[in-house]
Chains A and B, each alone.
Chain A
Amino acid sequence: MTMTPIAIPKRTQSARLENWSRAFYRFRQSWLSIVGLAIVVLLVVIAIFAPWIVPYPEHVVGGTNTAARFQAPSTDAWFGTNALGQDMFSLVLVGSQVSLFSGLAVVFIAIVVGTAVGAIAGYFGGWVDEVLMRITDLLLTIPSLILAMAVAAALGTGVWNMIIAISITWWPAYARLVRGEVIVKKEEQFVVAAHALGANWLRILGKHILPNIVSPIVIKASLDMGFAILTVASLGFVGIGVKPPTPEWGTLLSGARSYMPDYWWTAVAPGIAIFLAVLAFNLLGDGLRDVLDPKARR
């Protein structure tokens, strides 16, 4: 008796690789997402290598050159020079460090705190849920920029103080999101099964529920990055947050205000930098949403 061989379709790729290539295919469908990704990659590269590639590294750490004040953009100084004779191109390039790092840190802290609060509220329900969600709702009614400004001003200047201040206003939105997802997921069969096998709540939340709600969090985080960068720049603009000589886009823009419109380049360079960074992260976020949540696509 001979066995007839069963025809198994040949796979050239593993399943996981296939998923990735399908995701990348969907991402590629919109050229705007590609543009966003390209600018974000460029920004990250600039932020990492800025101190070594800028033409005037001494200006970035506070050095001045008052003989060359307010030079218009030229081949020497691409974006011109400011009131202290510092090269705007160097300042704007290094300014990407504070913006990207604080934006990332704010979103990261907000995800950690918001997920913890939302998961616990959604999983336990009852009075735990009531108390945590009422606090969350209260924070959501407070104008976030004013609260962030007040906290940052009270904590004093410094990148970390600014990050903490913004994060305080940022986590409630994640708590709401995660709570809603957890409430849906905890009724699923696999959670009931894990329960029946005697898993404790920490294991159920960490191993079974949270891995299943990663994509809405990632979508929100990527759409939030641009907004976080914008908020960091806003705090800098009103004079709270990072203090010179550390270059920061919002602070640079605020310093340029008094010299408008004659020395317009001192404002235009950091302004466009903020605009481009926010735009790039928004485009990337839209692209990631298309990949992770195809139903939301219009």
Chain B
Amino acid sequence: MLLYILRRLVLLVPILLGLTLLLFIVARILPGDPVGLAAGPNATPELIAQMKREFGLDQPLPLQYWNYLTGLVSGDWGMSVFTRRPVFADILEYLPATIELVFASLFIAVVAGIPLGLLTAVYKNGPLDYATRTLALGGIAMPRFFLGLLLQMAFAAWLDILPLSGRYPLIESPPDHVTGLYTIDALIAGDWSAFQIALSHLALPAIAMALSPLATIMRMMRSSTIEVLQQDYVMTERALGLSNRLILFKYVLKNAMTSTLTVIGLYVSWLLGGTVLVETVFDWPGLGLYATQAILTQDFMPVIGVTLVIAIIYLVAMLVVDLLYGVFNPKVRYA
């Protein structure tokens, strides 16, 4: 098992190498002049040449790539032309906000989606089934940014029970930095009111992002549970007189989980990439906002950095999913 994890981690190296090369090529093929944009319209050619030297953009491309690669390993992910700060420091600053948002929405989607999927499979074609299936159809078609705007309108403007945007009130200082996730940090510090403030800011963006994965997880769980319920062993268990609850939670749930797990793993990447939209709506200071700003100023080092981070998290998430298969299905062997 440990050997399997190690081997998978080693296999990540060539994938990441390929990824950096691909991103580097894409970034350099594309037209666009970040230095020109950053230097402003009145910049002299000398200033632009000096800035190019400063950022190493005057060197030949293969050398630039080599420098970038060696830098990556030592934590030097290049400089942002726009913020004039190291990309790695920027990413470390913005990453916790995004992680908090992604895991909060994934939590909502899993905690609500799996029981709902189970229930609708057991009470197939009942009123709850029709209600949730309609909701699921709508949930997948609903644009996250529009849902976010509607939530803002309903809960922040009209009902006025949740904050409109942001992560924490500007006039107050967030809980002491431990993990960077405000809700977790507040709990660690034992500060109940800070936890409530952080949670109230987190609620709307997390719900806006959770609807689509919730709908998909529910549909997936429903169909795989229906499939498992028709298996022979379920009939045998029924014949042996086991209670419905025992059959459902001890035997069916585990078997229905495997295909749902894949979907959950895929959603980690979808959510990370999709935070761009929700973070824009809620002014959530995460990677998505950072990437959007970098893209709009054609500042490609941060874009490569953010993409790389998201790709690494995605690849690790897929590894975790593969490992979890073994928990739910002991037939899966790691060799």
Contacts and interface: CB of A to CB of B under 8 A. Distances in A.
A237 B145 CA distance: 8
Given A141-B15, A155-B30, A260-B153, A271 B143 contact: yes
A234 B147 CA distance: 13
13 contacts: A32-B137, A138-B19, A146-B303, A147-B307, A150-B30, A153-B298, A238-B292, A239-B296, A240-B296, A260-B152, A267-B146, A271-B143, A271-B150
B149 A143 contact: no
A10 interface: no
Given A144-B273, A145-B274, A153-B32, 5 more contacts: A146-B306, A150-B300, A278-B141, A278-B143, A282-B137
Interface string A31-47: 01000000000000000
B311 interface: yes
Nearest to B311: A141
A157 to B, nearest CB: 12
Interface string B21-56: 011001100111000000000000000000000000
B145 A253 contact: yes
A33 to B, nearest CB: 12
Nearest to B276: A145
A261 B150 CA distance: 9
A205 interface: no
A177 B223 CA distance: 22
Nearest to B312: A141
B143 A154 contact: no
Nearest to B294: A150
A267 B157 CA distance: 14
Interface in A121-151: 134-135, 137-139, 141-147, 149-151
Contacts of A11: none
Residue of B23, B141, B300, B310 with highest tally of chain A CB at under 10 A: B141
Given A154-B30, A154-B298, A155-B31, A260 B143 contact: no
Contact of B314 (A134, A141, A149, A234): A141
Contact of B307 (A146, A234, A250): A146
B252 interface: no
Size bracket of the A interface = 35 or more
Contact of B295 (A134, A153, A278): A153
A150 B295 contact: yes
A221 interface: no
B190 interface: no
B140 interface: yes
A156 B296 CA distance: 10
A240 B291 CA distance: 13
B101 interface: no
B262 interface: no
Contacts of B142: 275, 278
A143 B31 contact: no
A149 B19 contact: no
Interface of B: 15, 18-19, 22-23, 26-27, 30-32, 137-138, 140-143, 145-146, 149-150, 152-153, 157-158, 223, 226, 269, 272-274, 276-277, 280-281, 291-292, 295-296, 298, 300, 303, 306-307, 310-311, 314-315
A257 interface: yes
A264 interface: yes
A264 B153 CA distance: 8
B18 A138 contact: yes
B143 A274 contact: yes
Given A143-B310, A261-B157, A282 B141 contact: yes
B22 A138 contact: yes
A149 B295 contact: yes
A275 B30 contact: no
Interface string A267-298: 10001001100110011000000000000001
Contacts of B18: 134, 138
A143 B298 contact: no
A230 interface: yes
Given A138-B15, A233-B143, A261-B157, A238 B280 contact: yes
Contacts of B310: 142-143, 146
Contact of A141 (B300, B306, B315): B315
Nearest to B149: A267
A240 B157 CA distance: 28
Most A CB atoms within 10 A — which of B30, B158, B295? B295
B311 A271 contact: no
A80 interface: no
A143 B145 CA distance: 17
A103 interface: no
A226 interface: yes
A146 B30 contact: no
Which are the 6 A-B pairs with shortest beta-carbon distances?
A143-B273, A154-B30, A271-B146, A279-B141, A261-B157, A278-B141
A146 B276 contact: yes
Contacts of A298: 223, 226
Nearest to B219: A298
B137 A253 contact: no
B98 to A, nearest CB: 12
B281 A154 contact: no
B81 to A, nearest CB: 14
A230 B157 contact: no
A105 B294 CA distance: 27
A268 to B, nearest CB: 8
Contacts of B300: 150
Nearest to A281: B141
